[in-house]
Structure 1
């Protein structure tokens, strides 16, 4: 984020020290690298609230139907707000944001409408977190009540902590309590998000069991305080939890049977269609370059070759049916977006006349050998298999890639 004053290129780190703390914090709104869903799509959310004024579950900003349309788009249809008797004159085509099964999204929305926990599982890079963010933004207006699960996540981050200065000065009180995102969601009737829940230690996961079953959280320290004699925080209608978990993390901290019963499981899979995945990679890479004021110029054929290679290595079989040894690294759509973005950045900022296709083998190698050194050999096997066969069949682009095999070392 930029500092309190707009800084020109080449301004020093201390150029804005008068703003306090080197200009890190400022009253002036700053540009963000990534906007929250509720801010990025504020216009669509406001329109959809007016478009469908039907019944809504407690605490919801939109109707369940409008939430599905927000996530999946209107399919090119122009939606018109208001009623036939009182048309507002506002109309909008809602863009598709999640590339996946609409029935999956509908099941997720129904789960949340029933105030039941929702657990999104799948391979890394399948947009589980993005779907969680979109659903939260549409349902309660905020996606920011989030606990990021790691091995270092503590129970306090799921329950509550204390402002120790206030605690020492006045004793246990609501004013001294520091609520977790989950506790805040309970008091607002909102959606709390728990990312990578299986990376949390079992005792941290178990803190959610009573919250999801009893819909209340005990705060014993408040039981004898002057401003709260009950010592229990009860969830407001509308509260629920969306959690995510990677299939690759199964066994890191296995969820207990008791916690599993509190969630409806939905599996988010890879994108099934090549053209759809290619279009998504292009859109995401284009947006990434646009944030830096650059244009994405990678040719469509090169992008299709990139996505095809990812799909072959991810699935263990080429589109032609040839066997491919799968690397241990996750060859996700998200990784394909990163590679496409890198190729686009090189073309925009390091223009040396090289065809972006010639940089593809190096980028693939950097992606594949993240986890296991043996994955290098698996990528070479892919080059000696499908890449060579396509080159022998006369495909010019794949012939160029075959000629670049030495880049893989």
Structure 2
């Protein structure tokens, strides 16, 4: 049997099975129908706590407690949940952990793309059986949402606004009537207690396939903000890099904490168009420079340090990754990045090696 250490990225319910079990054992609060944990315990799983028996529950979301409580409370009602935010605000991460804590299964997932068809939301057919025997239950291939309805679990929809409009419309009956007709068989699947939909959307994609007002009414929207402070973002990035590094057998994060702080600072300053102390304005590049991109750059840097260095994360290990993340448009972004290096990084105390490495990476 495959364990969490045998795969590159275990599902949340696999990776944190011990924490979920400990919370379930200590949870004496009312649980909504179909839930494995109470809303109180789900919020503790997401925000982190220490249980009475000494079990440490690690925080999965670093941010305002109220955001988590509103999201969890939404799932306890008959409304679906839409997590909205710019790239890198942990929308997917939060949706996965919400599903894992509520039902123990985060795998009922529909990935929204321009090519996603109605079958991904409704159902499809095993065409070999369909041709041989005609429409039957054996020939029916349920979608993740149909399975979630039948089993009373949350279904996840990633990138809702990237679904074509006709596919989005297929969710309206599901969310309002809590039923999915199968006219070919003359039957319907009715949702069992515990069913809901957790969707995510990138608010920079507005206008791609904007959901109709009818669909939006079926969701309670929770906006996930970017980290409010540099320390909060450093904490998030450090935890995520450590988690990914563990899966990839890379060096421990403390060996690179200084570079993590530096990369986070660079991304925040370029993103907000000003230095952290507010003394100087800087131009912003065309990319988002999200927290998720910082995690990617630093994980790549750890790999460089582990395989081509001494295991300690240094400026030379992250410079190429930072350059690639910032300079999406070689012409316009290249000017922005060179200006930042010369006016900010070059004169900042303790940044000489970083400045030199980035200048070399820029060519």
TM-score in terms of structure 2 length: 0.93
In the alignment, structure 1 residue 341 sits paired with structure 2 residue 299: yes
The answer (yes or no) to whether the contact 1:326–1:378 under 8 Å persists in 2 is yes
Partner residue in 2 for 1:7: none
Partner residue in 1 for 2:282: 324
Counterparts of residues 9-408 of structure 1 (less than 5 Å):
31-74=6-49, 77=50, 79-80=51-52, 90-223=53-186, 231-296=187-252, 298-321=255-278, 322-351=280-309, 356-370=314-328, 373-390=331-348, 395=349, 397-404=350-357, 406-407=359-360, 408=362
For 2:284 and 2:314, the matched residues in 1 are separated by: 25
For 2:355 and 2:21, the matched residues in 1 are separated by: 51
- Structure 1, gaps ≥5 residues long: 1-26, 81-89, 224-230
Give the secondary-structure state (helix, strand or coil) at the position aligned to 1:221: coil
| 1:64-110 Cα distance to aligned partner (Å, 9 max, x none) | 00000001011xx3x12xxxxxxxxx541211111111110000011
Give the secondary-structure state (helix, strand or coil) at the position aligned to 2:88: coil
For 2:231 and 2:144, the matched residues in 1 are separated by: 39
Q: Which structure ranks higher in relative contact order (CA pairs < 8 Å, sequence separation ≥ 6)?
A: 2
The answer (yes or no) to whether the contact 1:282–1:340 under 8 Å persists in 2 is no
**C-alpha deviation, 1:377, in angstroms:** 1.3
| 1:133-160 Cα distance to aligned partner (Å, 9 max, x none) | 0000111110000000000100011000
**Aligned pair in 2 of structure 1 residues 129, 341: CA closer, same or farther (>3 Å)?**
same
For 1:37 and 1:177, the matched residues in 2 are separated by: 29
**C-alpha deviation, 1:291, in angstroms:** 2.5
**C-alpha deviation, 1:355, in angstroms:** 7.4
**Aligned pair in 2 of structure 1 residues 301, 352: CA closer, same or farther (>3 Å)?**
closer
The answer (yes or no) to whether the contact 1:329–1:372 under 8 Å persists in 2 is no
Give the secondary-structure state (helix, strand or coil) at the position aligned to 2:57: coil
**C-alpha deviation, 1:57, in angstroms:** 0.8
**C-alpha deviation, 1:338, in angstroms:** 1.2
For 1:353 and 1:235, the matched residues in 2 are separated by: 52
RMSD (Å) for aligned C-alpha atoms: 2.0
**C-alpha deviation, 1:404, in angstroms:** 4.6
The answer (yes or no) to whether the contact 2:153–2:194 under 8 Å persists in 1 is yes
Which deviates more from structure 2 when the two are superposed, residues 355-364 or residues 162-171?
355-364
For 1:128 and 1:145, the matched residues in 2 are separated by: 16
Give the secondary-structure state (helix, strand or coil) at the position aligned to 1:161: strand
TM-score in terms of structure 1 length: 0.83
For 1:61 and 1:28, the matched residues in 2 are separated by: 23
Which deviates more from structure 2 when the two are superposed, residues 196-205 or residues 167-176?
167-176
**C-alpha deviation, 1:358, in angstroms:** 3.0
Give the secondary-structure state (helix, strand or coil) at the position aligned to 1:222: coil
- Structure 2, gaps ≥5 residues long: none
Give the secondary-structure state (helix, strand or coil) at the position aligned to 2:298: helix
**C-alpha deviation, 1:283, in angstroms:** 2.8
For 2:330 and 2:73, the matched residues in 1 are separated by: 41
Larger radius of gyration: 1
The answer (yes or no) to whether the contact 1:212–1:262 under 8 Å persists in 2 is yes
For 2:160 and 2:167, the matched residues in 1 are separated by: 9
**Aligned pair in 2 of structure 1 residues 388, 106: CA closer, same or farther (>3 Å)?**
same
**C-alpha deviation, 1:125, in angstroms:** 1.3
- How many residues matched? 359
